[in-house]
Amino acid sequence: MVLPARTGLGNGAVSKEEGDVVSYEERVEEMGLEIPDYSVTPYYGPSYGSMKAHHQVGSLLFLSGHVPEYPDGTILHPGHLGAEVTIEQGYEAARLAAINCLAGIRYALGSLDRVKAIVRSLNFVACTPDFTDVHKVSSGATDLLRDVFGDEAGVGGRATIGVTSLARNHCFENWLTVEVEPG
């Protein structure tokens, strides 16, 4: 379900209705998103090699790659766009990767309300050489971020690259850079 975009107000708030303000954490709850708790089930990235979940430099938080994988290790829509995965399935997979990014942000910062803005999103779509609709797939991630953080804070720069393969046959992966409020 795609919800209407909200205007970002900064300081962890989006406009709910005229005059009402809701925190990003409340917005996630309103949207019914189930965000994994990486303090309970750790971020899956290190199972793919030497890395850490995130790195913060000043007011910038750099997330490692996030994929459409459930906490139990199940992959949503494995394969390649243009072959066994449809655009709609790719969009859904990108949305799950963005939910996992929200888990990574919450784990790093303690609360989504410390997000000032999404700076950029770098997206990778596993696809056949003739598949050119990679942008439609990555919108699954960036639309979700917009819906959570609003138009101003939730929409950053974006690039999407078609690739021949991703680890464990994932069809999508993204990296985020997030501007954060002081803790």
**Range scoring the smallest mean pLDDT among 35-44, 51-60, 104-113, 159-168:** 35-44
Q: What is the mean pLDDT of residues 134-161?
A: 98
Integer Cα distance of 81 and 106 in angstroms = 30
| Fold of domain 8-180 | 60s Ribosomal Protein L30; Chain: A; (3.30.1330)
**pLDDT at residue number 44:** 80
Q: How confident is the model at residue 144 (pLDDT cuts 50, 70, 90)?
A: very high
pLDDT at 20: 63
51-63 pLDDT, tens per residue? 889 999 999 999 9
Name the burial class of residue 179, with classes exposed (0-12), middle (13-18) and buried (19+) by CB atoms within 10 angstroms of its CB: middle
